[in-house]
Amino acid sequence: MLTAVNASAATARPRASSLPPDERRAAIIAATLPLLANHGGRVTTREIAEAAGIAEGTIFRVFPDKETLIEAAIDSAFDPAPVEAALHDIDAALPLEARLAAAVAILERRFVSVWQLMTSVGITRAPDKRVPPSLVALTALFEPDRARLRLEPEEAARLLRALTLASTHPALVAGEPLSTDQIVSVLLDGIRSPTPEPHHFQEL
């Protein structure tokens, strides 16, 4: 028969597996980000602990207070490294349109999540120490088709990023945002229909 102590232990939540400090910190931040996007600064450390599958006290062994955790989570959301890694992993053997569609999808997910977080938390700009993602990985996607482009790959990459950014910004989008295929089409083909070739009539 279980004693009261053993019964309590049997029904207690399983302890989270032991993780190295850096991994534990990253796991807490990962659990915090979606809660911040939904609840802003009103999120509680108890909610964060439940989402992370840890005891609430574990949070305070990693972060001195909730404010420091929120700052770390916001800083993580603006980290360009995951986006650059995802862009780098796009298969260079794909056709240009497919490569760019994959890139736009990656950028859209980042921009939408950042806009949602900024709105929910009430911040108006990225942390000062953060810089925008570099254009290296995005530029590389244009390089195999350089000969087909009227612009240098880096300029084309800059335009693709700007168009995707504008298409996802809540203050700029009226109605439905551009789809991934529309963004790629506008970049590569523009919006003007091709001018019909003039007819040449042979003199009789």
Is the confidence at residue 10, as pLDDT, over 80?
no
Angstrom distance (rounded) from CA 68 to CA 143: 42
Is the confidence at residue 13, as pLDDT, over 80?
no
Mean pLDDT of 83-100: 96
User: Residue 92: phi, psi to the nearest 5?
Assistant: -70, -15
> What string of H, E and C letters represents the secondary structure of 22-68?
HHHHHHHHHHHHHHHHHHHHHCCHHHHHHHHCCCHHHHHHHCCCHHH
Q: Which of 27-36, 117-126, 128-137, 142-151 has the lowest mean pLDDT?
A: 128-137
Tens digits of per-residue pLDDT, 146-170?
999 999 999 999 999 999 998 888 7
Q: Which of 36, 59, 77 is the last residue of a domain?
A: 77
Q: 204 in a domain, yes or no?
A: no
Is the confidence at residue 202, as pLDDT, over 60?
no
Domain tally for the chain? Answer: 2
CATH number at residue 35: 1.10.10.60
Angstrom distance (rounded) from CA 25 to CA 41: 19
Q: What local confidence, expressed as pLDDT, does residue 204 receive?
A: 45
Boundaries of domain holding 62 = 16-77
Q: 29 in a domain, yes or no?
A: yes
From 27, 137, 139, select the one nearest 83 (Cα to Cα).
137
Percent of the chain with pLDDT over 70: 81
Cβ atoms within 10 A of the Cβ of 156, count?
23
Q: Where are the beta strands (DSSP E) in the chain?
A: none
